[in-house]
Structures are given as C-alpha cells and as structure tokens.
Structure 1
Amino acid sequence: MKFLRNLLASIFGTFIALGILFILFILIISAVGESEKVTVKQNSVLEIGLETLVKDYAPKSDDPFEEILGLSDEKLSLEKILNAIENAKDDAKIKGISIRSLGVNAGMSQVQAIRKKLVDFKESGKFVNAYADIYDQKTYYLSSVADSIFINPIGALDFKGLSTEVLFFKDFEDKTGVKMEVVRHGKYKSAVEPYLYNKMSDDNRNQITSFLKSIWNEMLIDISNSRNITIEKLNTIADNLLGRTPELAIENNLVDEVLYYDEYTSKLKLASGLSVDDKLNTISIADYISTGKGRLISTAPNKIAVIYAQGTIMYGEGNEDIIGQELMINSLRKARKTKGVKAIVLRVNSPGGSALASDLIWREIELTKQEIPLVVSMGDVAASGGYYIACNADKIFAQPTTITGSIGVFGMLPNISKLSDKIGINAEQVKTNTGADYSLFEPMTDEFRAVTKEGVEQVYTTFLQRVATGRNMSIKVVDSIAQGRVWSGVEALENGLIDELGTLDDAVAYAAELAEVTDYKVRNFPNYKFDLEDKLNGFPFMQSKEKLLIKEIGLENYKLYQTLKHFSEMKGIQARMPFVFDIQ
C-alpha cells in the first residue's frame, strides 16, 4: 500500500513539474515574441547586408517552436528580398537604402537580380549608398549600383577578374590504391576528370574559360553602366589590381570617397533630410521582411504558381535543399488543381543529380503542360538534371550569369582493390549465377563495365531525345552542344538551349501572358514539412545541425562537407553538372 502511495505521489509530482515547466515555457515564448517585435520608424534607412545565406526560396515555418527555439537555419529568401526592395520604393518611412555587407553569401545570378531591383528602386528618386571596410568582388559588384560608394581609409577592394579551381586526385589514387571507377558520356563531363587525370583537359579548360569570361563580361557591363568606366578600363584595373588600396580605388573611380563609418552615417543622415545631430534609424533587410514587407499584397483572384526546385536532385521525397521527385510531382499536381492558378513557373536552381528522379519530374511536367502553361526560370545553376527537368517547358528564361547545359551522363563507383592487396585483404565471392556484378575489393570486370556503359549510353540517348523534342531541335544539333558542356545564360541563348534572358519576374509575367491574365498574384510551392525530431538533434544547445557545424568548422568547410555528403548519397546513373565550383 505504501508503495502504491509513493508511486502515485511520484506520478502526480512529475505531472505538476511538467505543468509548471510548460507554463514557464509559454511565458518565455510570449516574452520573446513581444521583445522581438519589429516596427519601421519614420526617416529610416533600409540596410542591405547579405552575409546570411540567400536561397531562391526560404519559406518561414508555420511552427512557432522552430524560430523561438532557434531551430531554423539562418537564411534569406531572394523572393522576399526583391519584394522588400519593391515595397521600400513606395514606403514613406524609408528614405533610402544603404548597402553594407561583410560579404555576399549568394550566387551570382541572385546578386544580379538584387542589383537589377536596386536600379529600379533608384527610379523612385530615393538614394542608394554603399559602404564597406573591405570589398570582395561580389560585394563590389552589388555595391557598384549605388549613387555613391564609400570605403574605410585602411580598407581594401578586390577587383581582379573571376577564377575557379579544380583539384585532381589521380596521383593520390595511384599512391593509396583507392580509386573511383568511372563510366561517362560527354567529353566535357568533367565531374569525373579529377579521378582519371592529374591535370585539366583542354576541353574542360576551354569550357570553364568560356563561361567565366561570359559571366565576367556581364559584371563589367553592369559596373560600366553604373560607374561610367569603360569595359576596357575595368579590365586594365583588374589586370593590374588598381583597386587594391583606397587611394587606387579613388584614383580609378571605383569608389567615391574614403571615410570612417561614423562619417558615412553622417552622410546618410543628410541624405535622409536629417541634421548630423539627429538620430539615424536603420532597419536591416531581414527585419524589414519580418514586418510583412517581404510579400506583395494583392487581392487578385487569378494566381501564377511558382514551384521552386532547388538543390541536388535525388530519388525520394526531397526537402528544402534536395529536389526529390515525390515533392516535385506533388507540387505540380497541387498547383494545377489549386483554384485560380492559371499558369506555372518552375524555378530551377540545381546542378542535377539522379537521372531517374529527373525523368520522373520531366514526365509530370509533360502531364501538367496538357492542362495549363508552364514556363521555366533558371537561377544560378540549371545544369544536367537541372536542365533535364527544364527542357520541355513552354518557354525557358535564364539570367545572363546562369550556368546551364551540361547535357551528359556519368556513373562512378569507389574501388579499393589495390589498397586491399597492399594491406593483405582478400575478398572471395560466392554466387548462384554468372551475371556481371561488382565488388569494392575487386577490379571492375570488362563485363560489368560494358553493362554500366550500356546504362549510361541509354540515359544519355534519352536525355538527347528529351531536349530535342522540348527545344524543337534535331538530335544531331543537341549532341553537338551537349557532351556534358556547361554554358552561361548568354551562351545558352545563342545555341538555343533557352529562349530569353530574364529574371523570375519576367518568367512570371510571360506565364501570365500565356494564360491571358493581367491581374494576378503569385502562389509559392512547395510547402515543406517541419521535422521537430530532426531539428532537436542539436540539444542541449537547441541549434540546428547546420549552425553547429558552421560554428565548429567554418562556412567554407561546411560547404565542402555538404558536397561530400551529397556525393556519398548518390545512387544510380547521374545526370549532374560536371563539377562543383565556387567562382571567386
């Protein structure tokens, strides 16, 4: 009896403790919510800093616990940034924009879209100024749109042209006995080159040089128009590093004035119609978005659905960072069945991935086109599998700096047979049939290579057929611009892989034109699920896995970790961009 009494007392005590903790938790949530409420004050300057990761689509979770507990990864939505700048144009409380960023964590096409929106903002008559202690090239490209550009007296400006680097592992493989067995189609399909050679092939060097020059030229055109410097002079500045000091930057018209941040703040006050003794109110782009300015208000009954396909393509469900055929197919079906949706824009930002998943998405796009118009807008990258799911659209838009094409296929398997021989491991197989198979511990047989090559060729042939049909080209013409080659948006327009250079807004406007509607609003897809169990893996710190890893190993190493993780998760034949690149 005493035992039961103690047991019941313990149970009741536990419930009471949990109840108290729950009440305290609710009070904390309420307090946090009240303390972090943001308002736009009179005479404010909108401050644009893009150190936080910018994604094409970064929907806010409907679950309040995610943000309050700090479980959501820090990110900014490109769509909301552009909408915020558009809203700021007519917001009487916003006097102007200040670009101040320690770096730009966004792709080149994303930066170009933001820059274009700032050009449009300036037509309102409001000012755009920029300040930085140090300008890297991407930050300067964004900042060059400003009416006036300022730099710290002890600062620096990096303006030297674009470059990228590819690592080669062939000698490492020979020394360690760990290698990758490769089967590919496409002389430019250079994702596998590092495992086959110890230096870059001429074909690969030519394609990288070509699209880097194309992107660089787009940057120069924009900078030239804003700064009134000829493209020839800008290349001379880059060749001779004539912007490396504040003095040289002033001399070559890259910046307008050298001053400290407090002096810059005084200039912002004067530009806002204040005196230097008045208080300057600034609001960050993230806070401005949080007040509701990240969306455009419309009561139009008609809708244009924008479906975001961002990340590596992998067979399965998919999420915010991975394009899975299940999520894409469901989004396409839901969009075309949603009341008021008159057309769809598929926003693609992907280097490709699983050929099977790509084809399944392609098929659903074919079915969707039978019901409503479907237009594609390409972001930073829409290559290989990313192009596969775009090629059959009614019309394809890309930005000049988009990386696209890469119509090629490869298969890749790890092999440690030489290493196992060196360290004394012998693997013996027993099987019931004689069909070709593969072992990590044995050299790839000719029979297995032939079977794999057959699969790669079949996928490549299908890929060519999909593109030829979608783009109304002959297979011979498609093959001549395929072979795994990567193109910039400008080059893709020239060879017929896309129809027009333009932003997501341009694609949406054209989709509305196809649907014959003039008054419409945008509805975004997909809706991502919030996985509380996954997000709570970071306890007791209540941080997301991404935040913890970035904090421990740094942003650059985290990007490398993500790349290795995605490669380890690949299954089946891949229609993927030739390489992972980071343009500097």
Structure 2
Amino acid sequence: MLQFLKYVLATVVGIFLFSFLSLFLLIGIGSLFSSDDKVVINDNSVLKIDLNKPVQEVGVENPFSDFGGPFFNPKDVIGLKDIRAALTYAREDDNVKGVYLKVESPTAGWATLEEIRNELIEFKKSNKFVYTYGEYYSEKGYYLASVADKIYLNPAGAMEWNGLSAEYEFYKGTFDKLDIKPVVFRVGEFKSAIEMFSRKDMSEASKKQTAELLQAINGHFINNIATARKLSPTRLLDLADSLSIRNPTSALETKLVTHLGYQDEFETALRREIKLDDKKDISYVSIDKYLKADHKAQPGDFNNRIAVLVAEGEIVSGEGSEGVISSEKLVKELKKARENDKIKAVVLRINSPGGSSLASDVIWREVQLTAKKKPVIASMSDMAASGGYYIAMACDTIVAQPNTITGSIGIFALLFNVEDFMNNKLGVTFDRVKTNKHADWPTVTREMTEFEKDMFQKSVNEGYYTFTRKAAEGRNMPVERLRELAQGRVWSGVEAKANGLVDVLGGLDEAIQIAAKSAKLTEGDYRVRFYPEKINPFEDILGKLTGNSEEKVLAKHLGELAPYVKMYQQVMRMEGMQARLPYELKIQ
C-alpha cells in the first residue's frame, strides 16, 4: 500500500509540474508570436547599461522576462555582443542622448572589459555623454568608469585602488590527509596546472610567469586610465602603493572621480544634461529593451556573410553541456560554415582556458579544413590558452587584446591513486586477476609501476611534440624557437605579439575587418552573423524551472562550499591528457 501511495504521489506531482511548464511555455510562445507591440524609444532617452552581473560572449534571450519572478530573471547573464550592438545603434539614434553606466563590480575578464571600454570611447565620439554612478568601484569597474564624462561616487561609498593580485589554492595538504596520491605527468617548465595537487605553494617558475603577466596587464590598465583621467602613470602607481584612496574624499581630491553625490544628486545632474524638468522621470532604456526596438537594418549583402563562431568555455570531447566548448558541436558549426557558400569568411571567437587535448586536436583539424576553403581569423577574448591556443593556431591570422591571456603551450596528464584512501579511510580493499601484466593500466586503485609511469610520460611527450609542431607550422616558425616560447608559459596579448604567437593586437572588430579584407569584401558589402546567435531560451528557462541549473542548485544547497564542489568537478574532468591553462587564474 505504501509503495502504491508513493507512485500515486509521484504521478500527481509529475502531472502538476508538466501542466505548470506547459502553461508557461504557451504563454512564452504566445508572447513571442502573437504580440504586435513594438518597443518605442522615447525622445530624450538614456541608455542604462548595468554591468554588475556576469558578462559572456553571447547572452541568454529570455522570452519570459516581462513576467518577472525568480525563474524569469532577465539579469542573469549579459552578452558582450548585445552591449556592443546597443552602443553602436545608440551612437546614431537621435532619441538616445547618452549612457548611464553602472559598473561597480562587473564579473568579466580583462579583454571583455577592453572591448566594452573601446565601444564606450567610440560612443563618446558621437558627442553624447557617458555618466556613471556607483556606491563602490572595484578596479575592474573603475577601468570602465574611467572613460565617463562624469564619475559619481557615493559620499559614504568606497573605491578599490591597490593594484592587481592573483591568488591560487593548493590541495596537497588535503590529499595528504585523505591518503590520495596525485600521479602527475607533464611537459613544460611553466605547465603548473598540477601544482595545486603536488605542492603547497607556487614554484619559482609559476611565480615568475604570474608576476610578469600581472605586470603586463597592470601596465596596460594603468596607462589607459592615465590617458582617460589626464594623470601620470607614476602618480597612479604611487596612489596604489601608498593606499592613498582611503575614502570617497581622497578619490575626489586625486581626480579619480569627478563628483561625490547620492543617487538623487546624480539623477539631478542627468536631468540638467538632457534638459529635463525636475518633476519628470528620466526615460531609461535597458539594453534588453533597446535591442527590441526597430533599428536600421545592417547594411550589406545578406549573401556575403562573415560568420562569427563563438567558442567559450572549457574544451571537452563529445556533445558536452552548457557553458563548455564541445568538440562535436563546434565541428558541426565549422562544417556548416565551410559548406555554406553565403559565408565568405569565418571569425573564430575564442574565450577558453583549454581542456581536453584530444578535443582540441579534433577542433584544430576542422579549423584547418575550413581555412583551406575560406579565410578563418582567430579573435581571442579574455583567454585563449593551451587548448584555446591550440584551436586558434590553424587560423590564417590571430588577433588578441593587449590584456588577453594566451599561450600556455604544453600538455599534462593527471590521475589519482585512491588505494590508501579507500583502505585506510573507508576500509575498502581491492584485488584483481589479469590476462596480461598491465591489463588494468591505467588504474586508480593501485600504485603504477615505474615502467607504466614511463609509458604514460611518453604519451604526454608525444602530445607535446604534436602540439608544438603544429603550432610552429601555423606560426611559420622553427619548432625549436616555438618550444622556447612554449614550456607551458602564459603570455599577455602584448607579449604574445612581441614573440610571434599573435599577429595583431585588437578586438572583434579588427578580426572582422581582417576577415573581410581576406575575403576581398569591402565595407557595406557584407553582413556579420553570430553562431550560435543566442543560447536556446527555452532550454535555459526549463533548466531553471526544473532545478537543473547546476550552479544555482549547488549554491542553494552548499552555500560557501559550492565553489569547491565546482572545483572538484573540474578536477575530475582533468583526468587524462590535458591542454589547459596552468591554474584557475583570476586577476583582481
């Protein structure tokens, strides 16, 4: 009887959930196809760009966003593509008088910030204003805010100005306590991804490359802010070293901000700028809403397209899941682009720390085949390192931002010996019968012999030689010279260009222009199309409704432990041969 009641209850819950989902799907489909209402942009509007959220290459289109509610939050992720498009349209839109920028603490990489910052500078050339207000500015937030005409900081707020840092976590002590032995194979002095398992601190090689990378990114950051705020780089560095920006008053006195004021005072200044009566509300328009309005169609012949293929995330074999570069999916996109006669050139937009060396090689081959038929240009975003560099090196030209993180040309493999853990901690033991000496190799339940370890290392060496040989061919560089630059070493875009790993410093626009020129297309003769154009909205909404949004589930149930569980999942994906950035690199 109890079992019967359980089945009945499960059926009722299933029917209810199905009905609930069906209702919202119908509402969403109806809102998409039956509504004739068009978004109208009022005269004297201000484009409000809120970047206090994650920014990725392509955003998530949410057809239910107008309904509100916890499942239909339109602010989860914003696409760089959408930010750029909105600013481009707004430059020519007489109804948009300027931009209100909210950038207290954006969750984005440095090259993504560079793209947005450059787009804001272009926007200002239309003689329209950019104002920003914040209760707090992180250094990433201030990098964008620094281009504004007026920078407001809350009088009780704060500003971070103490330099950039990178901190890494090490798990050797944890594994020692658990009696788990990482078994590591690598090639490259700087290939330090495995140090988190084998050491309790950074090696000298890791410290060297991290320090030089930080200096390169910080130098670019400081020089650009110095130009924008008309201050000397030396002065800005001194302010950081002395911790002089202690409070909003000191930020004002040093001219890092232009005004101290509350939200209402900021909005009073906005009203004056657009000559709006104090009693009238400012007509703010969000990026999401603004892009739904009618804008001039993109010029150019639809039969002449430049395809921008977005490759963002960790590189994995097979079909993969959301948020990764799946070799199977990207290969399909490359094949379609290669076989579509309307696509005249391809820009491969890469934002990846790398991943599976096999998946990277599968993608590399498809890029190579495509490049034989039409121009293929690599555009590197925040990072295109290790496997991310691997999939770029068959492209005709590689374009990177000055603060892109790239290189890390090297291979490693990681296995875990859990025999002592299972025996000493859990009381589980293992025994086996084999037809041959190494029939159970590789295994995680016994110590490998020196012969077996040597064979594994030889496989890693072969992977490294393949990687560096193909990189040398792609760069038209002697393989000996390439291997001097490799060794798993990470470079900034500026350094990579200086040593020949990158051809051009610039962003996506520069890559598109190079692709057009290579395909013998002139301005106005072609259109740019992104693939995929949007993340599937219904899959995203269903995931949220059914609780399949993995990160949110982890955060809800595990709280502060969630990032560590996510790290564990990443570690499990690192088993086997990897072409991956040498650590979980976050520069703050």
Question: Is the 1:73–1:547 Cα contact (8 Å) retained in structure 2?
Answer: no
* Structure 1 stretch displaced more, 428-437 or 491-500: 428-437
What secondary structure is seen at the aligned counterpart in 2 of 1:116? Answer: helix
Which residue number corresponds to residue 496 of structure 2?
A: 492
User: CA-to-partner distance for each residue in 1:310-329, whole Å, 9 max, x for gaps?
Assistant: 11000102455111221111
- Distance between the aligned counterparts of 2:87 and 2:457, measured in 1? 51
Q: Which moved more, 1:349-358 or 1:559-568?
A: 559-568
- Give matches, 1:373-388, under 5 Å: 373-388=375-390
Give SS of 2:293's match.
Answer: helix
Amino acid at match of 2:346: I
Q: Which residue in the other structure is 2:12 paired with? A: none
For residues 536 and 21 of structure 2, what CA distance do their matches in structure 1 show? 24
What is the match of residue 509 of structure 2? 505
Q: 1:457 aligns with which of 455, 458, 461?
A: 461
Q: Tell me if structure 1 keeps the 8 A contact 2:170–2:200.
A: yes
Do the aligned partners of 1:73 and 1:544 also contact (CA within 8 Å) in 2? no
- For residue 12 of structure 1, what is the aligned residue in structure 2? none
Alignment match, 1:521: 527
For residue 107 of structure 1, report the CA deviation from its aligned partner. Answer: 1.2
Amino acid paired to 2:182: M
Match of 1:274 among 273, 276, 279: 276
Change (3 A) 1:450 1:367: same
Per-residue CA deviation, residues 169-210 of structure 1 (Å, 9 max, x unaligned), is: 223322321231111111111110121122211110010011
1:9 alignment partner in structure 2: none
CA deviation digits over 1:299-354, x for unaligned, max 9?
Answer: 55311111111110001024551112211111111112223211111111111111
Contact kept, 8 Å, 2:398 with 2:503, in 1: the verdict is: yes
TM-superposed CA distance for 1:548, in Å, is 4.4
| Matching residue of 1:230 | 232
Shift in alpha-carbon separation, 1:320–1:38, aligned structure 2, 3 A: farther
Pair 537,121 (structure 1): closer, same or farther in 2 beyond 3 Å: closer
Secondary structure of the corresponding residue to residue 347 of structure 1:
strand
Shift of 1:259: 0.8
Q: Report if aligned partners of 2:60, 2:536 keep a CA contact under 8 Å in 1.
A: no
**Residue 338 in structure 1 maps to residue 340 in structure 2:** yes
Separation (CA, whole Å) in 1 of partners of 2:104 and 2:374: 44
User: Cα deviation per residue 1:403-430 (whole Å; 9 max; x = unaligned)?
Assistant: 0000011110122233344344431121
Does the 8 Å CA contact 1:269/1:276 hold for their aligned counterparts? yes
Cα offsets for 1:526-548 (capped at 9, x unmatched): 367859688645546x7844444
Partner deviation per Cα, 1:456-490 (whole Å, 9 max, x = no partner): 00100000101010001111111111111101101
1:52 is the counterpart of 2:53: yes
Q: Is the 8 A contact 2:52 2:102 kept in 1?
A: no
| Matching residue of 1:432 | 435
What is the Cα deviation at residue 276 of structure 1?
2.8
Aligned AA (1:407): I
Match for 1:520: what amino acid? Y
Unaligned runs of 5+ in 2: 1-14
Letter in 1 for 2:248: P
Distance 1:282 1:73 in 2: 16
1:557, distance to aligned residue in structure 2 (A): 6.1
Name stretches of at least 5 consecutive residues in structure 1 with no aligned partner.
1-14
Is 1:309 the counterpart of 2:311? The answer is: yes
- The whole-number CA distance in structure 1 between the counterparts of 2:411 and 2:453 is 15
Q: What is the RMSD computed on CA atoms of the aligned residues?
A: 2.9
Most deviating of 434-443 and 493-502 = 434-443
Query: What SS does structure 1 have at the residue aligned with 2:100?
Result: strand
CA distance in 2, matches of 1:178, 1:147: 56
For residues 246-395 of structure 1, what are the structure 2 equivalents within 5 Å?
A: 246-291=248-293, 296=298, 298-395=300-397
The Cα shift of 1:102 comes to 4.0
TM-score of the two chains, using structure 2 as the length reference:
0.89
- Relative to structure 1, is the Cα distance of residues 34 and 248 closer, same or farther in structure 2, using a 3 angstrom cutoff? farther
Matched, 1:581 2:585: yes
Moved more, 529-538 or 252-261: 529-538
Helix, strand or coil at the partner of 1:81:
helix
Residue 447 of structure 1: aligned partner: 451
Counterpart residue number, 1:41? 42
Q: Tell me which moved more, 99-108 or 185-194.
A: 99-108
CA distance in 1, matches of 2:125, 2:20: 56
Stretch moving more, 266-275 or 139-148: 266-275
Per the alignment, residue 468 of structure 1 pairs with 472
**2:155 equivalent in structure 1:** 153
Deviation at 1:292?
5.9
Aligned pair in 2 of structure 1 residues 396, 242: CA closer, same or farther (>3 Å)? Answer: same
**Matched residue, 1:106:** 108
Question: How far apart are the structure 2 equivalents of 1:212 and 1:457?
Answer: 29
Q: CA deviation at 1:242?
A: 1.8
Distance 1:308 1:397 in 2: 14
CA distance in 2, matches of 1:383, 1:265: 43
Q: Distance in 1 between matches of 2:94 and 2:199?
A: 60
Aligned-partner Cα distance in 2 for 1:225–1:95: 25
After superposition, give the CA deviation of every residue in 1:204-246 in whole Å (9 maximum; x if it has no partner): 0010011111111111111011100100000011111222311
1:290 is displaced (CA, Å) by 3.7
